[in-house]
Amino acid sequence: MPINRSITREYIGKPIRCKAAICRKSGEPLVIEEIEVDPPKSWEVRIKILCTSLCHSDLTFWKLDPSAPPAAFPRILGHEAVGVVESVGEHVEEVKEGELVVPVFLPNCGECKDCESTKSNTCSKFGSKLFFGMPRDGTSRFRDMNGEVVHHLLCVSSFSEYTVVDVTHLVKIAQDFPLDKACLLSCGVSTGVGAAWKVADVEKGTTVAIFGLGAVGLAVALGAKQRGVSMIIGIDLNENKFEIGKQFGVTHFVNPTTCKEKSVGEVIKDMTNGGADYCFECIGLASLMEEAFNSSREGWGKTVIIGVEMHGSPLTLNPRTMLRGRTITGSLFGGIKPKSDLPLLAQKYLDKELNLDGFITQEVDFKDINKAFDYMVQGKSIRCIIRMDH
């Protein structure tokens, strides 16, 4: 069934009532309720979400211990999405009503030192805090029918028929871009492809090792394949990931449980005659980050850390192992500057230079959103598209 992209001017400047999937308690199924969404304030945009997708980061926030600092309940999760502009607040000039937009968790004000630099994709004006509300005033635009505040997630909150996003977190894309593929650009796929292209800048004929073959790791493989690397090694505990990985360019597979007396690093060094030129950690474990570094080649091996460390554990490296030229670097959103780079990735898809189709493994209606969580928990999903019931 085609998705309804139309908007109405009836609620411009007024609160709007709609359905949202609310996370009220850690790890419990989301509850679809009617909520009230405020009109946008200055520099803000209210968008009608057309479809959204479930990222593993949503799963992480869903399962958070209520006492953990990033936890906030009740909350509207979701940060991979595409929508159409319903209304805009004062001072918003780059998007207008009816235009197709992709919300992103990473701000891009375009004015600060970092946004103006080619060396960084962070935003020093808005990018240093984990917001439970809007980035400029910290307040929420959501309330349930009892008047209780419902918190935001990562300045997006796409598991709602309507949401309010700061203009620094919005990217306009071509009106004819496929909606399900647009969701993928919001986070995971862009993070992986960007890490390969922008952060590592992998080269033709080099070797790559990817620790973790979830959506981000597979996107790294896709980006590396596009660059013509000679070997892509996928490291994962799930044997099924190898067959999946082949579709994205993975040429070799290592299951750490079958390495016997050797470490993963030793196995990779044997496979690559000295170590991989580029290693990517896509899980978020300090021990795996160390293993990835130790799997890289002496002299020029580069390790890119993409995963967010899950337990707050420190990364420990022997300084002597770095003296011969190995490097390690972090990567947020794959080094992608949202407003300038996402339209380029979108165009590469339209030009058939970037294949996004294989990432979508399931689609569900909004009323069945909890099925998307089930698929991911069971390890059956790369990306599940959630179509709104407008």
- Residue 149's beta-bridge partner residues? 143
Element (H, E) at 176: none
Greatest alpha-carbon span in the chain: 68
pLDDT at 132 over 90: no
CA distance between the termini of the chain: 11
Would you say 194 and 337 are in contact if contact means Cβ atoms under 8 Å apart?
no
Q: Does residue 142 surpass a pLDDT of 70?
A: yes
Min mean pLDDT across 81-90, 100-109, 291-300, 305-314 is at: 305-314
Per-residue pLDDT at 390 exceeds 70: no
Confidence of residue 39 (pLDDT cuts 50, 70, 90): very high
Is residue 260 very low, low, confident or very high in pLDDT (cuts 50, 70, 90)? confident
Model pLDDT, residue 280: 98
What is the CA angle 167-153-381, rounded to 5?
A: 110
Mean pLDDT of the chain: 94
Q: Tell me, what's the pLDDT at 6?
A: 76
Give the model's pLDDT for residue 128: 64
List the single range of 4-18, 154-168, 170-184, 344-358 with lowest mean pLDDT. Answer: 4-18
pLDDT beyond 80 at 127: no
Strands, E assignment, 54-153: 75-76, 80-88, 100-103, 142-144, 149-150
Q: Is the pLDDT of residue 81 over 80?
A: yes
Question: What pLDDT does 33 receive?
Answer: 97
User: What percentage of the chain reaches a pLDDT higher than 70?
Assistant: 98
Pairing of strands 383-387, 44-53: antiparallel
Q: Mean of the pLDDT values across residues 368-378?
A: 96
- pLDDT for 136 equals 93
pLDDT of residue 257: 92
Higher-pLDDT residue of 71 and 369 is: 369
DSSP strands (E only) in the chain: 16-23, 31-37, 44-53, 75-76, 80-88, 100-103, 142-144, 149-150, 162-166, 170-172, 207-211, 231-235, 252-254, 278-281, 302-305, 327-330, 360-365, 383-387
Q: Is the pLDDT of residue 326 over 70?
A: yes
At residue 112, does pLDDT exceed 90? Answer: yes
Report the distance separating Cα 185 and Cα 194, nearest Å.
Answer: 11
Lookup: tokens for 189: 């796929």
Q: Dump pLDDT digits (tens) for 229-244.
A: 999 999 999 999 999 9
Q: Give the Cα-Cα-Cα angle 174, 180, 185 (nearest 5 degrees).
A: 65
Predicted model pTM? 0.95
Backbone angles phi, psi at 277, to 5 degrees: -65, -35
Q: Which of 4-13, 81-90, 138-147, 316-325 has the lowest mean pLDDT?
A: 4-13
Work out the average pLDDT over 45-52. 98
Please determine, for residue 367, whether its predicted confidence score (pLDDT) is greater than 80.
yes
Please state the separation of Cα 240 from the chain's center in Å.
23
Identify the pLDDT of residue 70.
85
